[in-house]
């Protein structure tokens, strides 16, 4: 594929990843303005949408930069643009992943019944707790990734840089690994970053999702004895589908990124289009899932394509909009 072909494919994938999140963000903000109240679900959805939009755009910029300047990783000092792209990539991905984790925890606490006094108290104040956790995640990761702006190539490395490049392969250059200019334990920082990206959010997502599935099964069995109340399980089904689907998209994205990194380290044949596809897939699929699970957004989508007037959600059995409180 030519450079123009790679650029076109990258732009198309980026559009697919951005458009859905832009739709969700605009109409979620509109809903907040109409209700004059920001609920936890809407706050999380807005934060996920914003970070997904930025994430997909910066990945597109990274891909285009590599195609335009194949030796960009070997430039010293590192361009401020490149440092900014790396910073936004890590920051936005972490905030988005953790927002999904907090959403899973929120739904689990709201939906599942508990006998412990501590958990009952948490259930009553879960909106405040999750709102605080989400905002702290945003501010915390913004500060945590600031050392990325000190990334640069080491001055003591005198190896020659090869500029052999092929669009069907990665940059075949002997660029030295970048280091942080600030004094810090680089290995500890890298390990902590990896834990923030995968194991810790996953340890929140999986148990909460499985707990909700167990609750749904027990709830459905109980409702079978009363056929007139079977529809009451619809909200539980939607919540479970939402959380499990988002976890699946999250794991699929990490798997693609992991393969990309492994193949690059093994100097195999792979392009940055794989990275663009991974995050475009994440942004696009997560936006679709969030839209499909939100009745207000679905009505807005129908109104755009079918000239139907959007209605405010009135039934909890048809939406994942769990009431705060």
Q: List the domain boundaries for the chain.
A: 3-318
Q: What spatial distance separates the first Cα and last Cα of the chain, rounded to whole Å?
A: 54
Identify the architecture of domain 3-318 in CATH: Up-down Bundle (1.20)
CA distance 26 to 2: 36
Structure tokens at 12: 């198309």
Angstrom distance (rounded) from CA 253 to CA 276: 11
Lowest mean pLDDT among 2-6, 80-84, 202-206, 262-266: 2-6
Query: Taking the model in full, what pTM does it have?
Result: 0.85
Take residue 190 and report the two structure tokens written for it.
């890298």
Longest CA span, the chain:
77
Split at pLDDT 50, 70, 90, the class of 74 is confident
CA 223, distance to chain mean position in Å, is 35
Q: Residue 280: what pLDDT?
A: 92
pLDDT confidence tier of residue 304, bands split at 50, 70 and 90: confident
260: Cβ contacts below 8 Å, ≥ 6 apart: 270, 274, 275, 278
d(Cα 115, Cα 103) in Å, to the nearest integer? 22
Query: Is the per-residue pLDDT at 34 higher than 90?
Result: no
């Amino acid at each position: 594929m030519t450079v123009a072909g790679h650029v076109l494919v990258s732009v198309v994938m980026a559009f697919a990843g951005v458009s859905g999140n832009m739709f969700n963000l605009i109409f979620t903000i509109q809903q907040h303005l109409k209700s004059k109240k920001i609920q936890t679900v809407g706050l999380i959805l807005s934060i996920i949408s914003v970070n997904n939009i930025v994430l997909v755009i910066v990945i597109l910029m990274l891909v285009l930069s590599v195609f335009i300047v194949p030796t960009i990783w070997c430039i010293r000092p590192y361009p401020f643009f490149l440092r900014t792209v790396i910073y936004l990539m890590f920051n936005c991905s972490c905030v988005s992943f953790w927002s999904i984790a907090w959403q899973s925890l929120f739904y689990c606490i709201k939906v599942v019944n508990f006998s412990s006094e501590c958990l009952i108290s948490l259930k009553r104040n879960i909106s405040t707790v999750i709102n605080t956790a989400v905002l702290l995640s945003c501010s915390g990761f913004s500060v945590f990734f600031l050392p990325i702006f000190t990334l640069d190539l080491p001055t003591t490395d005198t190896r020659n840089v090869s500029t052999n490049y092929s669009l069907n392969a990665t940059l075949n250059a002997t660029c030295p690994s970048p280091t942080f200019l600030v004094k810090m334990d680089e290995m500890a920082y890298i390990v902590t970053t990896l834990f923030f990206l995968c194991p810790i959010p996953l340890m929140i997502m999986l148990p909460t999702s499985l707990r909700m599935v167990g609750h749904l099964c027990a709830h459905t069995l109980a409702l079978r004895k009363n056929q007139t109340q079977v529809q009451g399980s619809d909200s539980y089904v939607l919540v479970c589908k939402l959380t499990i689907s988002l976890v699946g998209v999250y794991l699929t994205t990490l798997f693609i990124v992991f393969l990309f990194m492994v193949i690059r380290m093994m100097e195999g044949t792979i392009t940055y289009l794989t990275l663009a596809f991974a995050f475009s897939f994440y942004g696009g699929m997560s936006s679709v899932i969030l839209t499909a699970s939100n009745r207000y957004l679905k009505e807005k989508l129908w109104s755009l394509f079918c000239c139907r007037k959007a209605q405010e959600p009135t039934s909890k059995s048809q939406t994942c909009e769990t009431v705060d409180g």
